[in-house]
C-alpha cells in the first residue's frame, strides 16, 4: 500500500519540520543552567504541562496501535482509557503529586532516594534509562518502517532525518522545547485525524451504519467479560480491573517519570496536582480520535473491498495499517499531508519524551549521584546536552538492531515489562505506610520482577511464554500481560511488607513530606471548584462512570 | 518579540499557514471531493490558528498592563 503525496503534502511536512526546529531555536537563549535544560526551571503554565502530559503518551503506539486495537477488539480497547488511565491520573494528581512535588525531588528515582536509599534509586534509574532509550529506538524504527511501507521512503533517511530533528530541538531548547513541541504535536494529531473520523463516520452512515455493519460483540465495554472466552479481547473482568485498571495503569501513570516529569515542571503545587487531572479531560475523549477509526474500518470493510487490510507474513491481517489505510482511502492530497504529518509527529513526540526523561535521569540520578557529585551548573548543563546527543545515537543504534534482530527486541521489551510491573507496589507502600523500609522496597522490587519472569516462564498465550513449563494457557496475549503484571504486583507487595516488618525503618523525622501519615495536610486554598484537584477528579470519575454505563 | 515566544502564537501561526494553504489548494482543485474537504478543513485550521494568535495577543496586552 502506497500513499501518493503531492507537492502540497510535502510542503506541509516541511513547514512542520521548520516549526519544530524553530521552537528549539526560539527557546535556546532561555537555557542557561542544567535546571533550565532538564527541568524547564519549573516555570511552565498549567495548560501546557497538561497537554504535554497527555501528549508524552500520545506516541506512535497510541495513535497507530489503538486504531489497530480498535479494529481488532472493537470498543473493548476503550478500557485502556476509561479504566486504564483516568482513575490513575486522578490518583496521581490528588494523592501522589504532593509527595513528588513537595519533596523537591527532580525525578521519580530521586524521590526513591529520599524515601528509601541510594540502591533503590539506582536500580530504578538504570532500568528506566535503558527502557527510555529502548522505547525511543523502537519508536524510531517503527517510524522508518511505516514511512518505507506507505511512502516508499528510504529506511535510513527516515531514521536520520527524524532523529536529527528531534536532536536539534531538544539540544537547543531542552525540556521546554520538547514540551512545547508536544503541545503542537497534540493539536496536530487531534486536528489532523479528526476530519478522517468525520469522513469515515459519514461514509458508513453514522451510528446506525456502525451498528449495522460491525459485529455486535465488538461494540461493548463489559458485555462478555464474565469469562475470557466470551469477548474478543480474551480477558476476564478481574484481569481487566486488577491487571490493567489497577496494576498497569497506576504503575505507568503514577510512577513513570516520562509522564510524571510533565507535572513536576509546573510552577506551583496546585498546578502540579491539576496537571494530570486537566490532562484526563481530553484523555477521556481520545478514543474518538484513536479507537473509533479502527471501528469505522470494520464497517467500511463491509461496504467496500478497498478497505481490506494487507496481510502479514503469517496470513493474519496487519492491523497496524488501519490508520494508513484510512488515510489513503479517505483523504485527498492536501489534508493527506496533514494526516501524514500527524503520524510523523506522533513518532517524534514519543521519541522526544523518552530522550528528555533519559537525559534528566542520567544527569541527576546516575552521573551526579555516582560519577561527579559537586560540579558546577555549567558542567551539568554540558552533561545534559551530551546525554541528549548520546541518547539519540543509542536510539538510532536500537532502531537498526530492531530491524535486524526482532527477537532481541521482543526479549528486551519483555524484560522491561517485568521490571515495570511491580513498581507501583513499591511507591504505594512507600508513600502510604511509614514502616516500609529501604531493604523491603529494594528486595520487594527484585521479588516482583522475578515473579513476573517466572509467571511468563510457566504460562503460555498465543504461542509465547512457557519457556520453563506450561502450567496454564491464557486465552490471549493481552490477558497474559495483565495477569503477569498482577502477580508481579502482589509478590512485590507481600515481599516488601514482610521484609519491612523485620528490618529497621527510617526515623520518622526523615520521612516528613515523603509519607502520607507524616505530612501535614495542606488545606486546599482554591476558592473555586475548577482549581480544586479533588472536585475535578470527582467530575472525571462521574463522566467515566457514565460512559461505562452507556456503552456497557 | 515577546509574543513570538508565546506557544499560542506559535501554534496559531502553524495552523494559520497550513489552513491558508489548504484553503487555496482546495479552492483551486478541480476534483469536487478534494475541493470540499480541503477548503473546509483549511477554513477550520485557519480559524483555529487565528483564535490562538488572538489569545496570545490578548495575553500579551494583559501582561503589558500589569507590568
Residue A485 contacts by C-beta under 8 Å, 6 or more apart in sequence?
A243, A247, A248, A251, A417, A421, A452
Interface of A with B in 315-334 (CB under 8 A): 331-334
B17 in reach of chain A (CB within 8 A): yes
CA distance A427 to A552: 33
Per-residue model confidence (pLDDT) at position A52? 93
- Mean pLDDT of the region A149-166: 91
DSSP output for A424-492? HHHHHHHHH-TT--HHHHHHHHHHHHHHHHHHHHHEEETTEE-SS--SEE-SSHHHHHHHHHHHHHHHH
Per-residue model confidence (pLDDT) at position A408? 66
A335 in reach of chain B (CB within 8 A): yes
**Nearest chain A Cα to B15, which residue?**
A188
CB contact under 8 A, B14 and A19: yes
- Mean pLDDT of the region A412-429: 82
CB A74 within 8 A of CB A218: yes
Q: Is A45's pLDDT higher than 70?
A: yes
* A264 vs A463: which has the higher pLDDT: A264
Q: Is A509's pLDDT higher than 50?
A: yes
* Residue A465, beta-bridge partner list: A460
Backbone angles phi, psi at A317, to 5 degrees: -60, 140
- Kindly state the cell numbers that stand for A6: 503531492
Q: What is the CA radius of gyration of chain A?
A: 23
B44 in reach of chain A (CB within 8 A): yes
Q: Which three-class secondary structure state does DSSP give residue A44?
A: strand
CA distance A429 to A37: 32
CB contact under 8 A, B41 and A27: no
Chain B residues with beta carbon closer than 8 angstroms to that of A338:
18, 22, 41, 45
- Mean pLDDT of the region A522-532: 75
Q: Is B40's pLDDT higher than 80?
A: yes
A272 in reach of chain B (CB within 8 A): no
**Shortest CA distance to B44 belongs to which of B14, B11, B24, B20?**
B20
Query: Which of A35-39, A86-90, A421-425, A467-471 holds the top average pLDDT?
Result: A86-90
Chain A residues with beta carbon closer than 8 angstroms to that of B15:
187, 191
Chain A residues with beta carbon closer than 8 angstroms to that of B41:
195, 334-335, 338
CB contact under 8 A, A191 and B5: no
Element (H, E) at A356: helix A335-360
Q: Which three-class secondary structure state does DSSP give residue A84?
A: coil
Q: Is B1's pLDDT higher than 70?
A: no
| Mutation choice for A interface testing from B1, B2, B3, B7 by most A CBs within 10 A | B7
**Nearest chain A Cα to B32, which residue?**
A332
Q: Is A524's pLDDT higher than 70?
A: no
* A153 vs B18: which has the higher pLDDT: B18
CA distance A176 to A155: 30
CB contact under 8 A, A333 and B34: yes
Chain B residues with beta carbon closer than 8 angstroms to that of A332:
29, 31, 33-34, 37-38
For chain B, how far is it from start to end, CA to CA, in angstroms? 16
Per-residue model confidence (pLDDT) at position A22? 93
Res. A193 pLDDT band, cuts 50 70 90: very high
A13 in reach of chain B (CB within 8 A): no
pLDDT tens digits, one per residue of A330-384: 999 999 999 999 999 888 888 898 999 999 999 999 999 999 988 998 999 999 9
A549 in reach of chain B (CB within 8 A): no
SS (H, E, C) A360-404: HHHHHHHHHHHHCCCCCHHHHHHHHHHHHHHHHHHHHHHHHHHHH
CB contact under 8 A, A15 and B14: yes
Question: Between B13, B22, B48, which is nearest A335 by CB?
Answer: B22
Res. A497 pLDDT band, cuts 50 70 90: very high
* A323 vs A313: which has the higher pLDDT: A323
CB A79 within 8 A of CB A221: yes
A22 in reach of chain B (CB within 8 A): yes
**Region class of A214: left (phi > 0), else alpha (psi between -120 and 50), else beta:** beta
Question: Between B7, B15, B38, which is nearest A48 by CB?
Answer: B7
CB contact under 8 A, A334 and B7: no
B15 in reach of chain A (CB within 8 A): yes
**Shortest CA distance to A36 belongs to which of A356, A300, A344?**
A356
CB contact under 8 A, B37 and A22: no
Q: Is B5's pLDDT higher than 70?
A: no
pLDDT tens digits, one per residue of A212-245: 999 888 999 999 888 888 888 888 999 999 989 9
pLDDT tens digits, one per residue of A106-127: 999 999 999 999 999 999 999 8
What letter would DSSP give residue A222? S
Per-residue model confidence (pLDDT) at position A273? 93
- Mean pLDDT of the region A44-62: 87
CB A64 within 8 A of CB A293: no
CB contact under 8 A, B15 and A19: no
| Mutation choice for B interface testing from A16, A169, A265, A332 by most B CBs within 10 A | A332
Per-residue model confidence (pLDDT) at position A464? 84
Amino acid at each position: 500500500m502506497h500513499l501518493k503525496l503531492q507537492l502540497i503534502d510535502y510542503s506541509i511536512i516541511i513547514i512542520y519540520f521548520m516549526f519544530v526546529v524553530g521552537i528549539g531555536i526560539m527557546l535556546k537563549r532561555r537555557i542557561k543552567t542544567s535546571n533550565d535544560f532538564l527541568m524547564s526551571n519549573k516555570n511552565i503554565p498549567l495548560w501546557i504541562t497538561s497537554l504535554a502530559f497527555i501528549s508524552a503518551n500520545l506516541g506512535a503506539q497510541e495513535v497507530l496501535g489503538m486504531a489497530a486495537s480498535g479494529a481488532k477488539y472493537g470498543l473493548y480497547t476503550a478500557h485502556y482509557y476509561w479504566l486504564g488511565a483516568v482513575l490513575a491520573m486522578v490518583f496521581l494528581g490528588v494523592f501522589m503529586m504532593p509527595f513528588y512535588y513537595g519533596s523537591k525531588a527532580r525525578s521519580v528515582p530521586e524521590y526513591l532516594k529520599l524515601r528509601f536509599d541510594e540502591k533503590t534509586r539506582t536500580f530504578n534509574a538504570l532500568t528506566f534509562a535503558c527502557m527510555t532509550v529502548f522505547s525511543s529506538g523502537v519508536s524510531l524504527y517503527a517510524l522508518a518502517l511505516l514511512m518505507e511501507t506507505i511512502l516508499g521512503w528510504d529506511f535510513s533517511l527516515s531514521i536520520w532525518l527524524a532523529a536529527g530533528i528531534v536532536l536539534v530541538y531538544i539540544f537547543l531548547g531542552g525540556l521546554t522545547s520538547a514540551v512545547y513541541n508536544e503541545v503542537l504535536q497534540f493539536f496536530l494529531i487531534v486536528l489532523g485525524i479528526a476530519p478522517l473520523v468525520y469522513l469515515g463516520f459519514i461514509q458508513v452512515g453514522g451510528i446506525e451504519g456502525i451498528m449495522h455493519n460491525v459485529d455486535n460483540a465488538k461494540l461493548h465495554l463489559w458485555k462478555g467479560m464474565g469469562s475470557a472466552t466470551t469477548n474478543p479481547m480474551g480477558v476476564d473482568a478481574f484481569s481487566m480491573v486488577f491487571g490493567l485498571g489497577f496494576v498497569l495503569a497506576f504503575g505507568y501513570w503514577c510512577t513513570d517519570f516520562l509522564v510524571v516529569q510533565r507535572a513536576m515542571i509546573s510552577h506551583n503545587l496546585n498546578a502540579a496536582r491539576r496537571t494530570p487531572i486537566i490532562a484526563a479531560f481530553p484523555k477521556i475523549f481520545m478514543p474518538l480520535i484513536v479507537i473509533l477509526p479502527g471501528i469505522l474500518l470494520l464497517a467500511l470493510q463491509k461496504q467496500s473491498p478497498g478497505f481490506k487490510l494487507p496481510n502479514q507474513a503469517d496470513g493474519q491481517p496487519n492491523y497496524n495499517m488501519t490508520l494508513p489505510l484510512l488515510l489513503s482511502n479517505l483523504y485527498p492530497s492536501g489534508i493527506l499531508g496533514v494526516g501524514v504529518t500527524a503520524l510523523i509527529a506522533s513518532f517524534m513526540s514519543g521519541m522526544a519524551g523518552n530522550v528528555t526523561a533519559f537525559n534528566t535521569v542520567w544527569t541527576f540520578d546516575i552521573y551526579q549521584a555516582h560519577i561527579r557529585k559537586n560540579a558546577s551548573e555549567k558542567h551539568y548543563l554540558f552533561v545534559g546536552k551530551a546525554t541528549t546527543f548520546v541518547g539519540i545515537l543509542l536510539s538510532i543504534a536500537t532502531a537498526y538492531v530492531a530491524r535486524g534482530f526482532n527477537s532481541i527486541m521482543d526479549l528486551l521489551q519483555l524484560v522491561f515489562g517485568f521490571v515495570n510491573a511491580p513498581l507501583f507496589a513499591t511507591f504505594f507502600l512507600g508513600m502510604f505506610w511509614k514502616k516500609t523500609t529501604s531493604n523491603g522496597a529494594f528486595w520487594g522490587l527484585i521479588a516482583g520482577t522475578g515473579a513476573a519472569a517466572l509467571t511468563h516462564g510457566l504460562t503460555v498465550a498465543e504461542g509465547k511464554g512457557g519457556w520453563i513449563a506450561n502450567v496454564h494457557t491464557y486465552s490471549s496475549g493481552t490477558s497474559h500481560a495483565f495477569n503477569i503484571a498482577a502477580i508481579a504486583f502482589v509478590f512485590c507487595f507481600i515481599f516488601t511488607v514482610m521484609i519491612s516488618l523485620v528490618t529497621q525503618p527510617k526515623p520518622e523525622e526523615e520521612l516528613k513530606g515523603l509519607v502520607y501519615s507524616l505530612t501535614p495536610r495542606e488545606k486546599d486554598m482554591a476558592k473555586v471548584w475548577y482549581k480544586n484537584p479533588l472536585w475535578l477528579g470527582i467530575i472525571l470519575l462521574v463522566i467515566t462512570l457514565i460512559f461505562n454505563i452507556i456503552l456497557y | 518579540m515577546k509574543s513570538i515566544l508565546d506557544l499560542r502564537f506559535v501554534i496559531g501561526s502553524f495552523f494559520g499557514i497550513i489552513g491558508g494553504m489548504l484553503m487555496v489548494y482546495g479552492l483551486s482543485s478541480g476534483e469536487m471531493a478534494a475541493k470540499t474537504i480541503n477548503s473546509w478543513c483549511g477554513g477550520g485550521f485557519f480559524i483555529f490558528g487565528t483564535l490562538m494568535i488572538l489569545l496570545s495577543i490578548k495575553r500579551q496586552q494583559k501582561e503589558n498592563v500589569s507590568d
